């Protein structure tokens, strides 16, 4: 599971890549749940929270870019 320290040092491109991977994993887990093949239902919740965490870091990168541009103006 990805925690804050794992995500802090990543660039925006790396965060987007991790987001795509996590969303694919979530889709696969959701399909497994629908077909009653999911062995660990808690994993679905963990991946959903991981996606939210990554999206938060992406949003923070965007806010920092806007702040940097206004400071340089």
Residues listed for the chain: 73
Structural domain of 22:
12-72
Quote the number of domains for the chain.
1
Residue 17 · residue 25 · CB < 8 Å: no
Looking at residue 63, its pLDDT comes to 79
Q: What is the DSSP letter of 39?
A: S
Domain annotation covers residue 65: yes
The answer to whether residue 48 sits within a structural domain is yes
Cα angle 19-21-24, degrees, rounded to a multiple of 5: 105
Q: What share of the chain is helix, strand, coil (3-state, %, to 5)?
A: 80, 0, 20
Query: What's the mean per-residue pLDDT of the chain?
Result: 88
Q: What is the pLDDT of residue 3?
A: 72
The yes-or-no verdict on residue 1 having pLDDT over 60 is no
Compare 14 and 64 and report the one with higher pLDDT: 14
First to last CA, the chain: 40
What is the pLDDT, as a whole number, of residue 67? 66
């Amino acid at each position: 599971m990805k925690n804050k320290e794992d995500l802090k040092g990543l660039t925006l491109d790396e965060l987007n890549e991790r987001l795509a991977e996590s969303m694919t994993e979530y889709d696969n887990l959701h399909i497994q749940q629908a077909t009653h093949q999911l062995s660990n239902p808690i994993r679905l919740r963990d991946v959903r929270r991981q996606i939210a965490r990554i999206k938060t870091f992406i949003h923070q990168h965007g806010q920092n870019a806007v702040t940097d541009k206004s400071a340089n103006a």
